[in-house]
Structure 1
């Protein structure tokens, strides 16, 4: 009996200990890298339409500190798995640039861009006991993969529960669960717009808050949604999302610049914006073709040498053309050229195919005015956008 009384005493003392409420921390100019892997199964009227695999790679930089939080600039690359069964790879499906203000509790006010998840997770505004709960609303993006209905931004009510703390490698984490269900009242106007009779389902998540860094370091989500349309079409979406976040170490930019200068690489430049990128200007392909000229192989090898010297293993290859001719044709050609570079790299080097992706921008992002042949040559380039490992 004494043993049982002792165990009961310990449990009571643990569960009655207040947990000091968590807050997001913000340091000016600090960057946070977030990577989400999403697997979604789509069923329409009982017919299986397959499973999509997506990755979202995000970098967010704290530009300014505010009274209640921070002003943050972000960019998210949405990648979709494509290709044949024996040769699947991730291609950039979309890119979002955005700015927002975030409070220490996690409340977000977006200034520009970003059609997606907002106000999640929200941290508690008071001390909590283990097992104690609180509620907060959020905007939740439901990706439809369906021509009838676009992606939906839903109002969700989340019930959060504090589950306790854990220590891993001397770092203390707060662990929370959250269950989200649709706010049917707020969704009425949206439902009517797209002939939706009802949406049922849930999002269940577990997330860990890093008390040392003041960031949410991981989120695991299981979701299951069912849409019933006015014509009684039934759309079922289910799957899981795994998200990890970290503050990445700075890249050795000065060393990379020295390599470019010392080896006198031709028309290879380093650019620093929200992310670091390397440009190969005036890159040569066969006319109006994605076929890479043999003369350009050494320049691509030079870029890989720079990346490897910096320990880079994740990057996005972006093809650009001069803004000449039909924009649609130029967009397609720029993507095909980026894929040619991707194919060459994957054939020659041992990079993980899931870490390298590509896209094309046509002539929409010139670095020169495009008025002279020399300026057009500089706009005709391949860009390597460097992501944290």
Structure 2
């Protein structure tokens, strides 16, 4: 009996030892490893909107609504999992007061090429000014449980070339504080909620070249909620509250206080010659005259030459509305965003040509919006004046061709 009891005790010890080894070697329940996952050839669109109040020396200067449209293509993935990214940034200006549909004007553009690690850290040259916020989020190389916190270094890089003459990105480093707050259910999809905040008090270490007017002190506060898809290894959307203050070398103080929101979606690449030929056939079958298609670097462009507006105005003629209704049926099969470009014949001043081309592009965009071709967040406009003629402005026929609107189905 003693022998049997002794063997039973030894067996218990062995089992307990094995159990403890399993506990030690097994990640805690609900722990996750977070990292970015990159797929060569994939393209995503990030659409962010910033609403901010601008103050100069304590007095409110203006309110600004800024739309940033970002297309990000993974051109390669390295053996250690880094993504090589080619990224196009466009900052849309606020639409005019007369425009009540929230269609945005196509604004300033940037292109950047950089790499990002699976943890989220950037390697980017100083010749690139975007993105502004870099190394957020950054994940540790360990399992994370709900409630866990960590810190990581990030930076903001501001483009002050036009305002202050600073020729390189003006970088402000910071330490970000992270917390894995748990999971949320969004339309049946489980996303991970990660909070991040940082505060910056930063003195410019050296006076920039070529200017005596520059930020000597910088104060930044950011509080963000990140919604993460761990299966995809990607950020789906985020919300941010922020406050930025620049104390200038002459004592001026600039403050920017507001909120930001961004959504990430996949882009279906429509820009193939096969699709361009298909759209041209559809235009022909619908008997839409004076239209043509062309495959460009941005996507498939549908050109409407000799487009008719009421005399010296941007109001569409009824005949053109019928054309756009037919074209809308073609665009319904394309989920991508649209860039509506307006063009004029060469007459009058350059300023008047540019203004009229912008108004006509907006008129087409608003009509497409009114008939449900796209939502306001999917349509952008740009006026080119008479800078891109398709024919010499030496006859009424050629000038009519130059009075055109182009609809580009955007791939980037």
- After superposition, residues 246-257 of structure 1 pair within 5 angstroms as 246-249=265-268, 253=275, 256-257=279-280
Which residue in 2 is equivalent to 1:48? 60
Whether 2:297 is the aligned partner of 1:280: answer no
Which residue in 2 is equivalent to 1:315? 338
SS of equivalent residue, structure 1 residue 87: coil
**Correspondence for 1:32 among 20, 39, 44:** 44
Whether 2:134 is the aligned partner of 1:119: answer yes
Whether 2:77 is the aligned partner of 1:73: answer no
Which residue in 2 is equivalent to 1:134? 151
* Contact 2:101–2:366 (CA under 8 A) maintained in structure 1: no
1:19, 1:336 → 2: CA distance?
Answer: 52
Describe the shift of the 1:186–1:170 C-alpha distance in structure 2 as closer, same or farther (beyond 3 A): farther
Describe the shift of the 1:371–1:42 C-alpha distance in structure 2 as closer, same or farther (beyond 3 A): closer
**Count of residue pairs brought into register by the alignment:** 372
Describe the shift of the 1:110–1:285 C-alpha distance in structure 2 as closer, same or farther (beyond 3 A): farther
2:96, 2:348 → 1: CA distance?
Answer: 29
Which residue in 1 is equivalent to 2:74? 62
- Shift in Å, 1:156: 3.0
Q: Greater CA deviation, 96-105 or 68-77?
A: 68-77
Cα offsets for 1:332-361 (capped at 9, x unmatched)? 232122123234445565864454342212
* Contact 2:201–2:218 (CA under 8 A) maintained in structure 1: no
- Shift in Å, 1:78: 2.2
SS of equivalent residue, structure 1 residue 135: strand
* Contact 2:129–2:158 (CA under 8 A) maintained in structure 1: no
Describe the shift of the 1:147–1:182 C-alpha distance in structure 2 as closer, same or farther (beyond 3 A): same
Cα offsets for 1:72-113 (capped at 9, x unmatched)? 333333223344489363432514141413223341425976
Which residue in 2 is equivalent to 1:333? 356
Aligned-CA RMSD value: 4.1
2:206, 2:174 → 1: CA distance?
Answer: 15
* Contact 1:79–1:90 (CA under 8 A) maintained in structure 2: no
- Shift in Å, 1:240: 0.8
**Correspondence for 1:296 among 320, 330, 334:** 320
Q: TM-score, normalised by structure 1?
A: 0.76
Which residue in 2 is equivalent to 1:163? 180
SS of equivalent residue, structure 2 residue 102: strand
Q: Greater CA deviation, 321-330 or 335-344?
A: 321-330
* Contact 1:155–1:183 (CA under 8 A) maintained in structure 2: no
2:398, 2:75 → 1: CA distance?
Answer: 32
Whether 2:255 is the aligned partner of 1:243: answer no
* Contact 1:154–1:187 (CA under 8 A) maintained in structure 2: no
Describe the shift of the 1:183–1:227 C-alpha distance in structure 2 as closer, same or farther (beyond 3 A): closer
SS of equivalent residue, structure 1 residue 213: coil
- Shift in Å, 1:239: 0.5
* Contact 1:271–1:278 (CA under 8 A) maintained in structure 2: no
**Correspondence for 2:240 among 221, 232, 238:** 221
Cα offsets for 1:282-311 (capped at 9, x unmatched)? 434467654545543333333222223x16
Cα offsets for 1:143-199 (capped at 9, x unmatched)? 99x978999844231414241552646755443333234472556435974243422
Unmatched 5+ stretches in structure 1: 1-12
**Correspondence for 2:194 among 176, 179, 187:** 176
* Contact 1:142–1:154 (CA under 8 A) maintained in structure 2: no
* Contact 1:72–1:100 (CA under 8 A) maintained in structure 2: yes
Unmatched 5+ stretches in structure 2: 1-25
